[in-house]
Amino acid sequence: MHRSFWPSLAAGAFLAAAGSSCAQTTPVGVWKTIDDKSKKEKSLIRITETGGVLSGKVEKILDPEAKDAKCDACSDERKNLPVVGLTVIRNVRHNDKDAELWDGGDILDPKTGSVYRVRMKPLEGGSKLEVRGYFGAPMFGRSQTWIRIE
């Protein structure tokens, strides 16, 4: 019985390790946003999950001149609120048909007040996040790649 125990234990440990390496990465965490046009670091966004629904708030603005910015251009309940602490990602869920995608919600650009549909896809084992904001179909939008901080 001793002889069969160790190989079974080793096989179980191997399978557990293999399963965890294939585990799905999620957008949950803190992300450094990079502007797709200027390539400058803009902010830190904390994405959280509650009941299978993701939301994201601005945790910090990296430009010292914009640290006290307000969402002056917003036209919804976020109008004139400070950007730090502002919920900019709402109602995102895991895509049932594509295990790599999270979508169905929206993302706010606090600078313009524009709200876009959003789709997110973890890249490189979850160290990066492709965030695509769009109108109508995803082909009518633009993408940013964010970097995981935690």
- Are the beta carbons of 74 and 80 closer than 8 angstroms? yes
Tens-digit pLDDT profile for residues 72-101: 999 999 999 999 999 999 999 999 999 999
Tens-digit pLDDT profile for residues 9-54: 344 443 343 333 444 589 999 999 988 888 899 999 999 999 999 9
Closest by CA position to 48, among listed 84, 99, 91 = 91
Which residue do the tokens 């006290």 mark?
68
- Are the beta carbons of 132 and 143 closer than 8 angstroms? yes
Q: Which CATH architecture has domain 26-148?
A: Beta Barrel (2.40)
Q: What is residue 150's DSSP assignment?
A: -
* Coarse DSSP helix, strand, coil percentages of the chain, rounded to the nearest 5 percent: 15, 45, 35
For residues 44-65, give the mean pLDDT.
Answer: 97
**Can you give the pLDDT at residue 137?**
86
**Beta-bridge partner residues of 70:** 82
**Can you give the pLDDT at residue 26?**
94
**Can you give the pLDDT at residue 47?**
99
**Can you give the pLDDT at residue 36?**
80
The torsion region of residue 24 among left (phi > 0), alpha (psi -120 to 50) and beta comes to: beta
- Sign of CA pseudo-dihedral 74, 76, 80, 84: negative
C-alpha–C-alpha distance, residues 59 and 51, integer Å: 21
The domain locations on the chain are 26-148
Does the pLDDT at position 1 exceed 80? no
**Can you give the pLDDT at residue 37?**
85
The identity of residue 45, as a single letter, is I
Does the pLDDT at position 106 exceed 80? yes
